[in-house]
Structure 1
Amino acid sequence: MKKINTMAGMLLAAATAMFSASCENDNINPYDYAVNNGNANQGSTNVIKTAVAEYPVGSLVWSNDTTLRESVEIPVGTSLYIEPGVTVTCKADVQVPVEVVVLGNLYCLGTAEKPVTFTSDCKKPEAWGGIICGYNSEEVVLNHVDIAYAGATPTESSASFQNKLFKTTIDGGVPAFHFCNVNGKFVIANSFFHDNYNDQTYFTGGNGVIAGNIFADSGNAADGGEAINVKAGCKLDVANNVIYNACTNAFKLSNAGNSEVVPLTDMTVYNNTIVDCGWRRSKNKKGGSVWVEKAARPVFVNNLCYDSRFGLKQPKQDGADMEHSRLTPNYYYASTATGVEQMAKGASLGIWFDTDIKSATAGQFDPLFKLFKQNAGMDINCEVDDPDKGAPLAFDKAWNFDLQQGSPALSGGVTDFARIFPNGIPFFGMKKVNFLDSANDQNYYFSAPLPQPRFGAWL
Structure 2
Amino acid sequence: MKKINTMAGMLLVAATAMFSASCENDNINPYDYVANNGNANQGSTNVIKTAVAEYPVGSLVWSNDTTLSESVEIPVGTSLYIEPGVTVTCKADVQVPVEVVVLGNLYCLGTAEKPVTFTSDCKKPEAWGGIICGYNSEEVVLNHVDIAYAGATPTESSASFQNKLFKTTIDGGVPAFHFCNVNGKFVIANSFFHDNYNDQTYFTGGNGVIAGNIFADSGNAADGGEAINVKAGCKLDVANNVIYNACTNAFKLSNAGNSEVVPLTDMTVYNNTIVDCGWRRSKNKKGGSVWVEKAARPVFVNNLCYDSRFGLKQPKQDGADMEHSRLTPNYYYASTATGVEQMAKGASLGIWFDTDIKSATAGQLNPLFKNFKQNAGMNINCEVDDPDKGAPLAFDKAWNFDLQQGSPALSGGVTDFARIFPNGIPFFGMKRVNFLDSANDQNYYFSAPLPQPRFGAWL
Q: TM-score, normalised by structure 2?
A: 0.93
Decide whether aligned partners of structure 1 residues 276 and 43 sit closer, same or farther in structure 2, where only a CA change above 3 A counts: closer
Task: Report the Cα offset of residue 59 of structure 1.
Answer: 0.1
Q: CA separation of 1:407/1:38 partners in 2, compared to 1, >3 Å: closer, same or farther?
A: closer
Structure 1 pair 255/68, CA: closer, same or farther in 2 (3 Å)? Answer: same
* Whole-Å separation in 1 of the counterparts to 2:33 and 2:8: 10
For residues 40 and 202 of structure 1, do their structure 2 counterparts lie closer, same or farther at Cα, with a shift above 3 Å needed?
Answer: closer
Using the TM superposition, give the Cα deviation of residue 44 of structure 1 relative to its aligned residue in structure 2, in angstroms: 10
Cα separation, 1, equivalents of 2:58 and 2:75: 12
CA contact (8 A) 1:14 1:39 kept: no
Q: CA deviation at 1:7?
A: 1.8
Structure 1 24/206 Cα, relative in aligned 2: closer, same or farther at 3 Å?
closer
Q: Report the alpha carbon displacement of residue 2 of structure 1 after superposing the two structures with TM.
A: 0.6
CA contact (8 A) 2:218 2:245 kept: yes
| 1:358, distance to aligned residue in structure 2 (A) | 0.2
Q: Indicate if the aligned counterparts of 1:209 and 1:237 stay in contact, CA closer than 8 A.
A: yes
Q: Structure 1 CA distance, aligned partners of 2:59 and 2:316?
A: 50
Deviation at 1:5, TM superposition (A): 1.8
Are the structure 2 counterparts of residues 58 and 75 from structure 1 closer, same or farther at C-alpha, using a change threshold of 3 Å? same
SS in structure 2 of the partner of residue 6 of structure 1: coil
How far is the alpha carbon of 1:186 from its aligned partner? 0.1
1:46 aligns with 2:46: yes
Q: What per-residue deviation string (whole Å, max 9, x for no partner) do you get for residues 342-376 of structure 1?
A: 00000000000000000000000000000000000
Structure 2 regions of 5+ residues with no counterpart?
A: none
Separation of aligned partners in 1, 2:419 and 2:15: 42
* Greater fraction of residues in helix: 1
How far off is 1:440 after superposition?
A: 3.5
Q: Structure 1: how far apart are the matches of 2:450 and 2:275?
A: 22
How far off is 1:86 after superposition?
0.1
3-state SS, counterpart of residue 37 of structure 1: coil
The secondary structure found in structure 2 opposite 1:244 is strand
- The whole-number CA distance in structure 1 between the counterparts of 2:92 and 2:327 is 42
Distance 2:202 2:125 in 1: 17
| Secondary structure at 1:370 match in 2 | strand
Contact 1:10 1:48 in 2 (8 A): no
When residues 181 and 42 of structure 1 are mapped into structure 2, their CA distance, relative to the original with a 3 A threshold, is: closer
Looking at structure 2, the residues matched to 443 and 29 of structure 1 have their Cα atoms a distance apart, in angstroms, of 12
Percent of matched pairs sharing the same residue:
98
The CA distance in 1 between the partners of 2:259 and 2:371, in whole Å, is 46
Query: Are positions 1:260 and 2:260 aligned together?
Result: yes
CA distance in structure 1 between the aligned counterparts of 2:208 and 2:28, rounded to whole angstroms: 33
Q: Secondary structure at the match of 2:396?
A: coil
**1:301 match:** 301
Q: CA deviation at 1:141?
A: 0.1
The C-alpha deviation readout for 1:388-426, integer Å capped at 9, x for no partner, is 000000000000000000000000000000000000000
Shift of 1:439: 5.4
Q: Distance in 1 between matches of 2:235 and 2:22?
A: 47
Q: Is the CA contact (8 Å cut-off) linking 1:89 and 1:118 kept in structure 2?
A: yes
Query: TM-score w.r.t. structure 1 length?
Result: 0.93
1:230 Cα offset (Å): 0.1
Mapped contact 2:238–2:448 kept (Cα < 8 A): yes
Q: Cα gap change, 1:262/1:16 in structure 2, threshold over 3 Å: closer, same or farther?
A: farther
Corresponding residue SS for 2:439? coil
Distance 1:66 1:30 in 2: 37
> For 2:312 and 2:29, how far apart are their aligned partners in 1?
47
Q: How many pairs were matched up?
A: 459
Q: Distance in 1 between matches of 2:183 and 2:33?
A: 35
In structure 2, the partner of 1:352 is 352
Q: Displacement, 1:257?
A: 1.6
How many Å apart are 1:261 and its aligned residue? 2.1
- Do 2:21 and 2:439's aligned partners in 1 also have CA atoms closer than 8 Å? no
Structure 1 residue matching 2:279: 3-state secondary structure: coil
